[in-house]
Amino acid sequence: MQKVKPYSLNIKGRLVEIDRPQVMGILNVTPDSFFSDSRSFDVDAISQRVATMLTEGVDMIDIGAYSSRPGAGEVSPQEEMQRLERGMEVVRKVAPSILVSVDTFRADVARYAVETLGVDMVNDISAGLLDENMVATIAQLKVPYIAMHMRGTPTTMSDLTQYNNVTADVMRELSQRINEFTLAGINDIIIDPGFGFAKTTEQNYELLQNLELFHELGYPLLVGVSRKSMIYRALGVTPDDALNGTTVVNTIALQAGASILRVHDVKQAVEAVKIMMLTNK
């Protein structure tokens, strides 16, 4: 069992020390997320979603306004910003001090979210590969950067699953991105292996089995498997019925030393962290 190493995040000049696994709650201010219960599109729904996550013990919130699921509708940068503005206005009213990351691959949206809306971190599914300006933007903003492994785009990724060795190849490709980030002056990096993005079900479970190896990259590890197809297809269920499987996979990730769990279901993830902390004393 791998213990989580303490780490710190520089949040706009404020050093935040983190000494246990964090639960990041997903807030989708979009009408077309793959999991229907995570969609919070109007103000009342957003407010209720945030309040519920707070009650359940969430540590940080990841707000997204552009679904990355295959087949999701196109969203313009202007619409993405407008949705984020509506969402962040509610978040800061309900939870003024909670850490918030913005889930976007667009540099202009990231800048707007940080500088205008007060977001604390940027969560990019493409690790800077979908917008050539993202890396320089993050370096200028000086906020923590969550970099996920993906090949291609959400539309093309399912055709890009050819690996010699999925664990070694994903680690190598993330390492290449990390080198670019550090050269640009990005200091606070969190890595995400990208479960479900340009990986087959079998490859996802191979990554899960080898998750501890990702600590060799030297950065905190975020795991996002919540209700994904690697779980519901393996069990022959729907995303709505994949909570139990998600909790099992999250527990395996915690055993491998995951620093952050990105989840739809906060209560169950918080309980998993509490139990794991008791066994890691």
Catalytically active residues are: 228, 262
Greatest pairwise CA separation for the chain in angstroms:
49
- Give 77-86 contacts, CB < 8 A, sequence gap 24+: 77/106, 77/108, 77/109, 80/104, 80/106, 80/109, 81/109, 81/112, 81/113, 83/29, 83/30, 84/29, 84/109, 84/112, 84/113, 84/117, 84/119, 85/116, 85/117, 86/29, 86/43, 86/46
90: nearest Cα among 53, 128, 57 = 53
Q: Report CA 66 to chain centroid distance, whole Å.
A: 14
Please report, as a single letter, which amino acid is at residue 69: R
The answer to whether residues 56 and 270 touch, using CB atoms and an 8 Å cutoff, is yes
Distance CA 97, CA 32 (A): 28
SS3 label, residue 19: coil
Cα-Cα end-to-end distance for the chain: 12
CA-CA-CA-CA dihedral for 5, 11, 13, 16, to nearest 10: -40
